[in-house]
Amino acid sequence: MPEFPTLAKLAEDLESGRTTSRKLVEACLARIADPTGEGQRAFIHVDKQAALAAADAMDGLRKAKAAPSRYAGIPVSIKDLFDIKGQTTRAGSRALDDSDPAEHDAAAVARLRHAGFVVIGRTNMTEFAYSGIGINPHYGTPKGAWNRADGHVPGGSSSGAAVSVLDGMAHGALGTDTGGSCRIPAAFNGIVGYKPTQRRVPLDGSVPLSFSLDSIGPLARSVSCCAILDAVLANEPIVALKPRPVKGMRLAVPTTIALDDLDAAVAATFERALKALADHGAIIERIEMAEFHDIGPMNAKGGFAASESYAWHRYLITSKGDVYDPRVFVRIMRGEAQSAADYIDLLNERRSLIARVNARIAPYDALVLPTTANTPPKIADLADDKAFTKENLRALRNCTLINMIDGCAISLPAHRAGEVPVGLMLAGAGGSDRRIFELAAGMEAVIRV
């Protein structure tokens, strides 16, 4: 797999004239169109002419010293969950095929365009974002990074987003994360994925899975790349990221649930990363998180994702339920049995959970845990529903812990070259986004040595 440049390097090349936006877009389009690649499965729609026109416009603005940002002209992909003006948003489904084209860009898309990023196309995803595996029976499933000839899952739900960055079909990707949908595909493909504090990025113009848990975040090649995109999405100034020294970092490893039932490669890679951090002076403490035991019972009836998705889908299911992915349909329908009292209990229990966890983790700079319990399974091995359900829950488990506490988290690749991809997740309480980025930038190079 070739190494592709970071956003900072691309910005330097654009500023110096070593490349142009037109060249970057043409190269991405060529990789998408390559019949031997994953482009036909990673993308649901490619807007070639609009991307080229936008590239030419950004090149013209740069010549006139009027580029809207250093990153103007860099192509990025957009998850099929977001509205793009003039296009139909299908959310990886066939049930929305006859929906009217969007009248406006989603807020997140508009912010990327305002900074000058070029939209290259809409990426494939788990239907309606309801799985951490990334399989899509309607548009095909892009193969992930690991042993591509054997066909391993890309992770979901932002499956095409991760593969687009991995294969140089885009240089950054817009994804969503309700229970790991940015972090899981990042972990399975050896890139970086970020789930921000939910309130940082408006959800307007995106198809909801759970409006209580949905977060909008980037997938990219480095911590710095994700920090740049996150700032744009949050409508904040792009400020140079200063890595924190590993020496003196106070990191807590939750031993409750997060370390259960790990694949051998995940456990070994995670422990090696912890040792590397400790060798560089990080203070690592393994702590019990009794509060995490409350999350399973809270989600026993399907939790927020089932109740809130059912509320959104219930009329569409009446007319189009027969074209839904059966695995997604079943999960949505769990919400039908939840009562108003069940939902109010969930709201109250989550408020209590957030307060208790925030108090527990306050003495530490961050939590550190494996992003997923499993390594990427083979696509063929998940044809059986029981096998699929087991691996899906293992992929989602650790990431969901952070969504439920309204936290922010980043997944960093922790494996070495030639090893199966494994992600290390760094997480904090809601509002600690900048600290998480600084910590992650400091440990990014250390954990893979």
Task: Catalogue the active-site residues.
Answer: 79, 157, 181
Start-to-end Cα distance in the chain? 20
Cα–Cα distance measured from residue 124 to residue 346, given in angstroms and rounded to the nearest whole number = 31
Phi-psi region of 209 (alpha: psi -120 to 50; beta: other; left: phi over 0): alpha
State which H helix or E strand residue 426 sits in. Answer: strand 423-428
Q: Give the distance from CA 133 to its chain's centroid.
A: 12
Cα–Cα distance measured from residue 220 to residue 266, given in angstroms and rounded to the nearest whole number = 22
* Residue 421: closest CA among 188, 157, 141: 188
Cα–Cα distance measured from residue 269 to residue 360, given in angstroms and rounded to the nearest whole number = 26
Hunting for tokens 């399973």 — which residue is that?
A: 296
Q: Give the distance from CA 51 to its chain's centroid.
A: 23
* Residue 361: closest CA among 423, 409, 305, 297: 409
The sign of the torsion formed by the CA atoms of 285, 286, 290, 293 equals positive
| Helix spans in 19-151 (H) | 21-33, 39-42, 48-63, 107-114
Asked whether the beta carbons of 353 and 304 are under 8 A apart, the reply is no
* Residue 307: closest CA among 406, 202, 212, 203: 212
Asked whether the beta carbons of 265 and 375 are under 8 A apart, the reply is yes
Cα–Cα distance measured from residue 413 to residue 190, given in angstroms and rounded to the nearest whole number = 5
Cα–Cα distance measured from residue 129 to residue 206, given in angstroms and rounded to the nearest whole number = 11
State which H helix or E strand residue 62 sits in. Answer: helix 48-63
